[in-house]
Structure 1
Amino acid sequence: MIDPMTWRTWKTRGLLLAFWTALALSYAASAVISSRAEGRATPWGGVLVWMFCNFYLWMLLTPLVAWLGRLGGKDGWRRFLAVHLPASVLVALFHTVVALSAYWWISGPSPSMKDRTLVDFLRTSAVYETHLAWITYWVFVVALRAVASRNHLRDERLRNSRLETQLVQSQLQTLRVQLQPHFLFNTLNAISALALADPMQARAMITRLSDFLRLTLEERHAQQVPLSRELEFLECYLGIQQVRFRDRLVTHMDIAADTLGAFVPNMILQPLVENALHHGLLDKPERGTLQVMARREGDELRVEIVDDGLGLPTEGTTTGIGLGSTRTRLDMLFGGRATLALSRRDSGGTRVEVRLPYREQPA
């Protein structure tokens, strides 16, 4: 089996060879066509030999020019000129001598120069060809620097993207750490209140709390989970609250089947449900109802948490840990594409609506 790195190396070399070959053929065709248009019969053989000697030599010199480009690309223009001014002259002279010598040895002297030597041939053609090689060198340097700058910009963007992703993950983890103690303290306070009044219920709550923590730890590294998994967390949490509320709490789950595979932020529902229970249903003297609904609407997932509790305070809403952290997480994960809205119900109680992009893969 061919190693992937070896395959990529040979693929790159093959592409370079094809590029320089195509360049040599196109220049040869242009030279022959131009000569014949001017009434001069120029044989293909000599032109092809010269073009291949010329361009294949530049192909072999490309790594050297690229290295010189990297060397001269540091520490500003002074270093750039200090490296490339002498290098351009030396490389141009080297290219001219080698290319002309190779052409002389392969094709032999032309009829007009059959009585002259290689030195005479070099002296005749060196000035013109060196000038062209010098210009070609600078075109090379500019092109290679442009490619290097583009690659550097791409790598910098990729690095910044990775840093931003790590920052978001760190911030989300901090928010989860903030949320979990908030939930644990409330639950432990409830267990403490039940310990003397109803030890059996306190034990049942401890068991459900351990199940909830186990599920949480299993997904501790996941920033997003399928809605079906999130509903497992929520059902476990509601089991704890059912012990706490006893027969004063009725829950309904109205979840569309086509939403179960949608990815949502981990533990996004628990703080919203906790907010509804704590601020809407806890102080309600009679039985209260909590409903959780999920629907897909085009490219959006709409989740609603509705209660028939005491409703929002007349002085307006306050943003506690649960709502504040949820808004922050939605903003970090989805930006302006996700919203959280809190509103009064005409029939009494509160409605929380979350809209976020529908995805079956994590964002």
Structure 2
Amino acid sequence: MKIRLGSMEVRLSRYLGLWAVVVFVFAAQGCVNDAVNGHLWSPGDYLRWWSIQWLTWAGLAPLVFRLGERHPIPFPPRLSALARHVGYSLAVTLLAVVIGALVSTLFEPSSFGQQLIQFISKHYAIGLLAYWTLLAVQQLLHFQAEKSRREIEATRLATELAQSRLQVLKTQLQPHFLFNTLHAIVTLLDEDTLSAEDMLLRLSELLRAFLEDYDGQEIPLRRELELLELYLGIQRRRFKDRLTTRIHVAPDVLDAAVPSLVLQPIVENAIRYGIGQHVGDDCVEIDCRREGDALCIDVRNYNSTLDEGGHAGGHGIGLSNTRLRMRELYGDAASLRLDLIVPRGVACRLRVPFHEMDEDPLPEHVPA
């Protein structure tokens, strides 16, 4: 069985036990005080007197809590709120001494009027203290509950904001990639119809994966590499023998979690600023391995440099969005940087915290 104190519920046994301790403490204090003064009564008398006093307040405590909830004292306190509770404290304490006098009349030979005068003279001041103590406890619990509620709400809003930012960043990548790929297909329609058709088939498979009903921000590395292979197949068709690709993956990182669609913009950047702007051949290498608590992915190409405006700063939509997504997902635990390869080339080095995913959130797609 429970008793309600405002919006809070407390087990009745625990509640009565707390007030029993208060009764015992005051009864013991009264007994000791009278013993020192030489007017000692029986222990039962002290327990009875203080039980009437404090069990009355035990019954009135829910009323005090309700008054505190209906009329909370703001911080900093306002005079009107304090004045209201001054009136309430006088009224509730008067009610407490009237109830105490009525109950005490059942056990004492004196009249109700005599008991009332005695209760007012001896217990009214301590009753006022009891009211304000109960009110202080209620206000403290209220402020703590409100603080917890606001912290939970702030955490929820921060999480929703981060998810919204991630989703925006993710969706920005898809039309950017789609535009570049369609442009490449258009250039091949008149030159190599078969290659253009193959690129369209691969693009349809890739778009189908993008449009899956999947809201997560991470996927296993093995699935990310499957999606990347669809994109690389499109680019190999586009550049024919000029472009080769190599992927090296340590077996123990295949189930590692990575941000979905994280490799495609990095590889696209390497191709765009490498073979896409320079004559000759190029090789794009992807190396995935684990180093301690980090998953390390290097994307290297050998036909670009770091002295070109867009590629040097890494401020294109691909790399900039990838950096923002990593910051939202992992904070300072992740990094992305560009390094020069001697004698020619650029390496994009991606580091994210290593953790595995138990299940694949996307169905498999096999390139046509």
TM-score between the two structures when normalised by the length of structure 1 = 0.84
Q: Which amino acid aligns with 2:117?
A: R
- Partner of residue 333, structure 1: 329
Q: Which of 287, 307, 311 lines up with 2:305 in the alignment? A: 311
Q: Does 1:254 align with 2:248?
A: yes
Query: Counterparts of 1:1-363 in structure 2 under 5 Å?
Result: 13-15=9-11, 17-25=13-21, 27-29=23-25, 31-32=27-28, 35-36=31-32, 38=35, 43-73=42-72, 77-102=78-103, 105=106, 108-109=107-108, 114=109, 116-218=110-212, 220-313=214-307, 317-318=312-313, 319-360=315-356
Q: Which moved more, 1:49-58 or 1:289-298?
A: 49-58
Q: Which moved more, 1:205-214 or 1:76-85?
A: 76-85
Q: How far apart are the structure 1 equivalents of 2:340 and 2:42?
A: 90
Q: Give the drift of 1:238.
A: 1.8
Q: How far apart are the structure 2 equivalents of 1:254 and 1:97?
A: 87
Residue pair 1:71, 1:83 contacting (<8 A) in 2 also? no
1:66-116: per-residue Cα shift (whole Å, max 9, x none)? 2322333267613312320110111111122224534554xx22xxxx3x1
Residue pair 1:32, 1:43 contacting (<8 A) in 2 also? no
- Partner of residue 3, structure 1: none
How many residue pairs match? The answer is: 349
Please, which runs of 5 or more residues in structure 1 have no aligned partner? 1-5
Structure 1 residues 69 and 311: alpha-carbon distance in aligned structure 2, compared to 1, 3 A threshold = same
Q: How far apart are the structure 1 equivalents of 2:104 and 2:228?
A: 80
Structure 1 residues 121 and 219: alpha-carbon distance in aligned structure 2, compared to 1, 3 A threshold = same
Q: Which has the higher contact order (CA 8 A, sep 6+)?
A: 2
Q: How far apart are the structure 2 equivalents of 1:256 and 1:280?
A: 26
Q: Which moved more, 1:271-280 or 1:38-47?
A: 38-47
Q: Which moved more, 1:283-292 or 1:91-100?
A: 283-292
Structure 1 residues 17 and 184: alpha-carbon distance in aligned structure 2, compared to 1, 3 A threshold = same
1:117-162: per-residue Cα shift (whole Å, max 9, x none)? 2332222122321211111111222221122122212222222222
| Percent identity over paired residues | 32
Residue pair 2:2, 2:11 contacting (<8 A) in 1 also? no
Q: Give the drift of 1:352.
A: 1.0
CA-based RMSD: 3.1
Structure 1 residues 34 and 278: alpha-carbon distance in aligned structure 2, compared to 1, 3 A threshold = same
Structure 1 residues 27 and 359: alpha-carbon distance in aligned structure 2, compared to 1, 3 A threshold = farther
Q: Give the drift of 1:186.
A: 0.6
Q: How far apart are the structure 2 equivalents of 1:54 and 1:214?
A: 76
Q: How far apart are the structure 2 equivalents of 1:293 and 1:100?
A: 87
- Residue aligned with 1:142, SS: helix
Residue pair 1:291, 1:306 contacting (<8 A) in 2 also? yes
Residue pair 2:19, 2:55 contacting (<8 A) in 1 also? no
Residue pair 2:296, 2:350 contacting (<8 A) in 1 also? yes
Q: How far apart are the structure 1 equivalents of 2:351 and 2:187?
A: 37
Residue pair 2:289, 2:297 contacting (<8 A) in 1 also? yes
Residue pair 1:36, 1:42 contacting (<8 A) in 2 also? no
Structure 1 residues 45 and 136: alpha-carbon distance in aligned structure 2, compared to 1, 3 A threshold = same
Q: Which moved more, 1:349-358 or 1:188-197?
A: 349-358
Residue pair 2:100, 2:119 contacting (<8 A) in 1 also? no
Q: Which moved more, 1:221-230 or 1:39-48?
A: 39-48
Please, which runs of 5 or more residues in structure 2 have no aligned partner? 359-368
Q: How far apart are the structure 2 equivalents of 1:293 and 1:60?
A: 73
Q: How far apart are the structure 1 equivalents of 2:22 and 2:2?
A: 28
Q: How far apart are the structure 1 equivalents of 2:3 and 2:232?
A: 55
1:230-261: per-residue Cα shift (whole Å, max 9, x none)? 22322222222222233333322223333333
Q: How far apart are the structure 2 equivalents of 1:265 and 1:104?
A: 77
- Residue aligned with 1:136, SS: helix
TM-score between the two structures when normalised by the length of structure 2 = 0.82
Residue pair 1:294, 1:302 contacting (<8 A) in 2 also? yes
Q: Which moved more, 1:77-86 or 1:245-254?
A: 245-254
Q: How far apart are the structure 2 equivalents of 1:35 and 1:55?
A: 16
Q: Give the drift of 1:185.
A: 0.8
